Chains A and B, each alone.
Chain A
Amino acid sequence: MKKAKMSVAAKKEERWAWLFVAPTMLGLIILNFYPIVSTIYQSFCKTGDFGKGNIFIGLKNYQAVLVDPEVWQSFWNTIKYAIIEVPFGIAIALVLAVLLNKKMIGRSLYRTIFFVPMVCAPAAVAMVWRWMYNTQFGLLNNVFHTKIAWISDPKIAWISVGVIGVWSIIGYNMVLFIGGLQDIPGDFYEAARIDGASELRQFWSITIPLLSPTTFFIVQTRIIGALTVFDLMFMVMDKTNVALKNVQSAVYLFYQYAFTNGNKGYGATIVVVLLIFIMILTFILQRVEKKWVYHN
């Protein structure tokens, strides 16, 4: 019935629409959908000798991954990195955004400076920080007259790498926060000022709750971003670095297995486990969002 009712114009429109979405959908199927299925299949396989062929081995990779202390350690390292990057990157950015939201001298210059790391290749940024962290000749140890092994002492290397992550992301988070702050109507603050609320009080009672959708969005994207960190670890940590085991992230380990050691099956298993972990976390965050985020 419905089909018969479709006018010639509507049919034409539909044909155009399919034509327009065709490249994207075809691309997504080849570049994304097939790869998801293929990666999951790969995780049930082992790579044959000389890197040729896939031999189906069932759940063996998963059994191995779940008892592999290196994998557990790498997931723990990834979480530790996230525990530094996400809260500090967000808290500092929020303070900067609140300070820079009002008109003041040098506002745009500050913003420009804080945002620069966002357009820099992490590979270059990591190289520079690695040089600053250098135990013998580095800037930090020479300026502070210390002899700290910033990136080769397993106890502190993860913090040092986390600091680079925070430094890199502050500007981006800040700009997102400024966007959110501009959506808060000015009369809220006006009313609070008339009631005699201090600036700090205004921050806690108006800014924080009304900014919560933005904050939540940043938290969610940054958690996923931090859990898939790779570039910093790869560039900062030498293969011979004794602290590597305590810093390498899950994606770093995935890269090593899939592309350096030629064990794609094991690499695929690690990345599938990471995907499941992220999906569970996203699900939990969505639940939390309903409870904590302020909706009009």
Chain B
Amino acid sequence: MIESAQKKAAIRRTCKHIFLIIMACIMIVPFAWMILTALKTKQESISVNPFYILPSNGWHWENFATVWKSYNFLILYKNTLLMIFFRVLCAVLTATMAGYAFGRLKFRGKNILFAMVLIQMMVPGQIFIIPQYVMVSKLKMLNTTFGLVFPGLVTAFGTYLLKIGYEGLPKELEEAAAIDGCNVFQRFSQILMPLTKSSMVSLGIFTAVFAFKDLMWPMIVCTNSTTTTLSAGLAKMQGQYGSEYPTQMAAATLAILPMVVIYVIFQKQFVEGIATSGGKL
């Protein structure tokens, strides 16, 4: 009786793992295929009979170097990095300040202003794009880092996230500081802000990942292949190298590799940052 129950449990465990392994393979295959194709010659990539899974003609690592040079990946990396840096900086800075005020301070108009923040969060972003583009173009800022950063100067969602972070801190902290004669700014900068570090990190990661993934905005404001980001650069490349699959796949690999490596290193913060941010939305 007990033996059969154990057997059943073992079978169930095995089935679980088989299912998980199949799912994991489905997740990995596209990446594996991307890298394998990137290492082939063009002829190999489009040969059907025989069909090569692995590169048969040597592993052409130089494909990466060729794409790197011919498409000026250094500039794409630089543009993407600058955009991410300034978007994260602006988002964390403005959201921290506003989040503190909404979460801890009393002021007239607070409810109305916060309702305005909430409304922004519920509206799909596409509705802002045409006027945002017109503004950037009137400012003569097309094809600049400022243009890329522009829609991310402030963040309704981040404000909401940080407000929750500040609300969660104990009231006594501030009262004690007030008795000690700290003014509002000192209470914010020296006592409360350091305690919301995890919310700030979450918002930073969330902002960075979504800025990195964005395709439409960089395509609209940075049409030049020397001013655009990795995502939009790939879109251009696909048009140019229509049937050069190893080139395309090498480019795709170069575009996603940095983020994947950073993710694998800071996995816990990434999953927490994206999931807790997403979960609170």
Residues of A within 8 A of B (CB): 10, 12-14, 16-18, 20-21, 23-28, 30-36, 38-39, 42, 92, 96, 99-100, 104-106, 110-125, 127-129, 131-132, 134, 136-137, 139, 142, 167, 170-172, 175-176, 179, 214, 217, 221, 224, 227-228, 230-231, 234-235, 251, 254-255, 258-259, 264, 267-268, 271-272, 274-275, 278, 282
Contact = CB atoms under 8 A, between A and B. Distances in A.
Contact of B116 (A28, A31, A34): A28
Contact of B106 (A10, A36, A129, A254): A10
A128 B183 contact: no
A254 B251 CA distance: 28
B117 A24 contact: yes
Nearest to B151: A31
B231 A121 contact: yes
Size bracket, chain B contacts: 35 or more
Nearest to B47: A137
Q: Give the residue among A12, A24, A92 with the most B Cβ atoms within 10 A.
A: A24
Given A17-B107, A28-B117, A137-B45, A42 B130 contact: yes
A259 B260 contact: no
Contacts, number: 262
A217 to B, nearest CB: 7
A31 B150 contact: yes
A251 B126 contact: yes
Secondary structure of the A contact surface, majority rule = helix
Given A39-B128, A99-B16, A136-B48, A23 B98 contact: yes
Secondary structure of the B contact surface, majority rule = helix
A113 B24 contact: yes
Interface string B257-281: 0011011100100110011101101
B98 A278 contact: no
B259 A119 contact: yes
A99 B19 contact: yes
B154 interface: yes
Contacts of B135: 30
A118 B33 contact: no
25 contacts: A10-B106, A17-B101, A20-B98, A23-B98, A24-B98, A27-B153, A32-B120, A35-B132, A104-B13, A113-B28, A114-B24, A118-B209, A119-B270, A120-B213, A123-B231, A123-B234, A124-B256, A127-B248, A128-B31, A132-B30, A132-B33, A167-B30, A176-B279, A234-B216, A274-B124
A13 B184 CA distance: 6
A17 B215 contact: no
B64 interface: no
A282 B29 CA distance: 36
B230 interface: yes
B73 interface: no
B255 A123 contact: yes
A261 to B, nearest CB: 13
A14 B184 CA distance: 10
Nearest to A275: B127
A80 to B, nearest CB: 19
B127 A272 contact: yes
